[in-house]
């Protein structure tokens, strides 16, 4: 590929030596190093996935999905509670974070005057929040739960608060990009007809931006579903033997179950953890696939 793409530039090369400068030893070594950098991570990823699938292959059975975790029978331990817990967490995380994130993004893009210091403060703050360690959001959720008067924060509510706060910056940033992609002319056309800023936002900008917002939201959720650190801090249990029943029901989550299994030394538990990782990766891949599908199918190019 490199040879094909360099042809255009060979005009500049010395013809007298008869040897292309692009193929000197140093240039080739450099290109080799870039190739190595490019594909090292991909190879690691492949090894990780293949190793996990091989390790977990003996446990790809129905019990993996339908059974609760068990300490006494490691060969049939399951992740029913974790899978359901993660599903509940995702639903409530989305319910908390998506409306809030979209509203904040619409304010920043459509209403805020960028010359005002408080709007610049919000921008700066968002950039910082996006890089705050996820575990810190766990500490924040513990405090919020205490403020709301709940002793036990290892619940659907506590976990969802932590994850919602964690992905809020992601949702705001992606929504803003989607909103910004809607051309200025559409807004001008609407405003010139006498529509208010909100009418324009609600009836023109937002509908056009929905595919982008959906893509960003799903990618945010796919990040949240794999997070364990904030859930450890809010006190989600590693093993729960019942289905979630409500916002205040104590739950576990799939990554939490995987985390707690790693401290078990029995081989069967390691196998089960590998199989559960495959389940988790399939869920994440599914979400990413959905996001890509939405982007390709509905995204409008202006």
Does residue 126 interact with another protein by CB under 8 A? Answer: yes
Shortest CB 302 distance to another protein, Å: 9
Nearer Cβ to another protein, position 84 or 86? 86
C-alpha triplet 159, 138, 66: angle, nearest 5°: 35
In order of 7, 9, 24, 25, 179, the CA distances from 28 in angstroms are: 15, 16, 6, 5, 44
Shortest CB 230 distance to another protein, Å: 9
The mark string for 272-301 relative to another protein (x by CB under 8 A, - otherwise) is -xx--x--xx--x---x-----------x-
Number of residues forming the site for another protein (CB under 8 A): 110
The mark string for 174-213 relative to another protein (x by CB under 8 A, - otherwise) is ---------x-xx-xxxxxxxxxxxx---xx--xx-----
Cβ atoms 59, 74 nearer than 8 A: no
Nearer Cβ to another protein, position 156 or 273? 273
Nearer Cβ to another protein, position 9 or 245? 9
Helix axes 267-298, 254-261, angle to 10 degrees: 150
According to CB under 8 A, which residues from 68 to 97 bind another protein?
A: none
Residues with Cβ within 8 Å of 175's Cβ and at least 6 positions away in sequence, in order, are 101, 102, 105, 106, 209, 212, 213, 216, 217
The mark string for 215-254 relative to another protein (x by CB under 8 A, - otherwise) is -------xx-xxxxx--xx-x-------------------
CA distance 263 to 276: 15
The DSSP element (H or E) to which 60 belongs, if any, is none
Shortest CB 72 distance to another protein, Å: 22
Q: Which residue intervals of the chain are DSSP H helices?
A: 2-6, 25-56, 62-66, 80-106, 117-129, 134-147, 156-180, 184-192, 197-200, 206-226, 229-234, 254-261, 267-298
Figure out which of the listed residues 115, 117, 149, 301 binds another protein, where binding follows CB under 8 A: 115
Shortest CB 222 distance to another protein, Å: 6
Does residue 149 interact with another protein by CB under 8 A? Answer: no
According to CB under 8 A, which residues from 28 to 67 bind another protein?
A: 30-31, 33-38, 40-42, 44-45, 47-48, 51-52, 55
Question: Encoding tokens for residue 45?
Answer: 């990823």
Residue from 154, 186, 178, 156 nearest 260 by CA: 154
């Amino acid at each position: 590929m490199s040879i094909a793409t360099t042809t255009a530039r060979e005009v500049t090369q010395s013809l007298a030596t008869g040897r292309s400068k692009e193929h000197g030893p140093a240039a080739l070594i450099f290109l080799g190093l870039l190739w190595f950098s490019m594909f090292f991570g991909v190879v690691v990823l492949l090894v990780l996935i293949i190793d996990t699938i091989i390790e977990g292959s003996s446990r790809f059975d129905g019990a993996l999905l339908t059974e609760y975790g068990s300490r006494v029978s490691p060969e049939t331990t399951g992740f029913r509670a974790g899978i359901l817990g993660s599903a509940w967490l995702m639903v409530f995380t989305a319910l908390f974070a998506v409306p809030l994130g979209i509203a904040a993004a619409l304010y920043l893009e459509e209403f805020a005057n960028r010359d005002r210091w408080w709007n610049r403060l919000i921008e700066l703050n968002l950039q910082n929040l996006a890089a705050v360690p996820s575990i810190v959001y766990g500490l924040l959720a513990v405090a919020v739960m205490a403020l709301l008067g709940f002793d036990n924060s290892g619940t659907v509510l506590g976990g969802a608060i932590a994850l919602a706060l964690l992905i809020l910056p992601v949702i705001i940033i992606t929504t803003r990009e989607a909103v910004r992609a809607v051309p200025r002319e559409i807004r001008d056309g609407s405003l010139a007809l006498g529509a208010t800023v909100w009418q324009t936002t609600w009836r023109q900008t937002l509908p056009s931006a929905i595919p982008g917002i959906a893509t960003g939201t799903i990618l945010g959720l796919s990040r949240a579903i794999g997070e364990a650190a904030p859930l450890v801090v809010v006190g989600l249990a590693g093993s729960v033997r019942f289905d979630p029943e409500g916002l205040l029901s104590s739950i576990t989550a799939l990554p939490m179950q995987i985390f707690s299994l790693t401290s078990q030394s029995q081989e069967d538990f390691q196998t089960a953890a590998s199989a559960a990782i495959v389940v988790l990766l399939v869920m994440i891949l599914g979400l990413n696939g959905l996001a890509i599908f939405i982007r390709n199918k509905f995204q409008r190019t202006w």
